[in-house]
Structure 1
């Protein structure tokens, strides 16, 4: 991915990894627009980064997504990068009754939200010469954390969707990227002070370095051992499987 002269929209850009990516990409000479539900957080990021823009977005609400997508296309016709970063992470009880509100909100935010946001912008992105759709998943999509079973499941599902979308867009101008962080010091699960978690600034610096390559999966060094658990030939197998199906149905 080229690291400058893009117009980039990042969901969940008011804090944590989203803010870190937004600020790093802004400094590299990109027009960055962030979104989130907490206006105070968005205002703080904008104040600290002159030239950056923000829009309020409820990623669980279809009407909000469509409204923001239309606004972005009108106000930023050169928009060529979407980074689906917004997410929530809460502990649950897979061995017992799952709280239905937690279940619904986690799936709506982490899985349905990114799919809907991409759906609202993908036709616009196809018209750009150098377009990217990015998703922030997690190494927990490859090796689930039982204490956050629903969160882990949404990230595994999003990883699966990314592979399908990447295959379906293989002949377009749109590249599909997956950013799969390890444990990072953010607000999620009160990890800001966790000594074993990767410092946010280190994660962002290493992630930007990988983004600047042709990698489809953006993995920092700490994430690679858990990603390898899924097998190094996963995508090749998935591509072959889908290609055979397309040929079968074309007969």
Structure 2
């Protein structure tokens, strides 16, 4: 059961956007929060601007970096009981352009291998805790793809599937598995910070925190805005929604 306070939380991918916002909200609710990221200058800025948030350097595309972060955190924060696999990238691809393969491979490495490697590295420590949580971060695009970003959408669908299996394998253990499913949110991801069609970041974080508090046993965290995508198949709207998304960026 994920309690809203009293945890020790590691968030790789917390230097901006939803990751940083969630780190600040969780810290304000009485959690010990460690923000992880590749760029040391951003980590230094977080320590300066947000006293009380700890940081650790980690590149989730690098298996050795993940192992080093795990070992450092095991020493500094032996009570670590929550992992939120926030790190991800989103880039457009034109499949007719040979450069799209580079984007695709980079996206798979960060968005799919990254969370899988993080879970593998941190799971033994989490299983040793009386209660622990793994939160993966997928997307509404796991349920209906954005054709402009085919590999991003595919990695989020794969991560959703992985999360479902992870939850089943860990049933009966002390580790709860939660899937955070954001809609489009006004962050730097795909330059959506000024997109009027995307959800305001603070509005999104408000609703996420309310949902976490209302149902500590939730398997998915679904704000109302993401249900347009999440429930498209069940409600017989898949082709319609895919058509809407197909016009994005055209």
Per the normalisation by structure 1, the TM-score is: 0.89
**How far apart are 1:229 and its partner, in Å?**
2.3
Which residue matches 1:182?
183
Count of residue pairs brought into register by the alignment: 232
- CA displacement, residues 93-132 of structure 1 (integer Å, 9 cap, x when unaligned): 2355452321111111000001001100101101111200
- CA displacement, residues 184-213 of structure 1 (integer Å, 9 cap, x when unaligned): 000011011111110000101111111221
CA distance in 2 between partners of 1:141 and 1:96 (Å): 24
Structure 1 outlier segments of 4+, above 3 Å: 94-98
Q: Spell out the pairing of 1:103-122 with structure 2 (5 A cutoff).
A: 103-122=104-123
Q: Spell out the pairing of 1:45-60 with structure 2 (5 A cutoff).
A: 45-60=46-61
Instruction: Please list every run of 5 or more consecutive structure 2 residues that lacks an aligned counterpart in the other structure.
Output: 236-250
Which residue matches 1:130?
131
Instruction: Please list every run of 5 or more consecutive structure 1 residues that lacks an aligned counterpart in the other structure.
Output: 233-251
CA distance in 2 between partners of 1:231 and 1:4 (Å): 34
Which residue matches 1:226?
229
Alpha carbon RMSD of aligned pairs, Å? 1.3
- 3-state SS of paired residue (2:148): helix
The question of whether the paired residues in 2 share the 8 Å contact of 1:106 and 1:151 is answered with yes
The question of whether the paired residues in 2 share the 8 Å contact of 1:139 and 1:223 is answered with yes
**How far apart are 1:42 and its partner, in Å?**
1.6
Per the normalisation by structure 2, the TM-score is: 0.90
- CA displacement, residues 21-58 of structure 1 (integer Å, 9 cap, x when unaligned): 00000000100001111122222222222111001111
1:217 aligns with 2:209: no
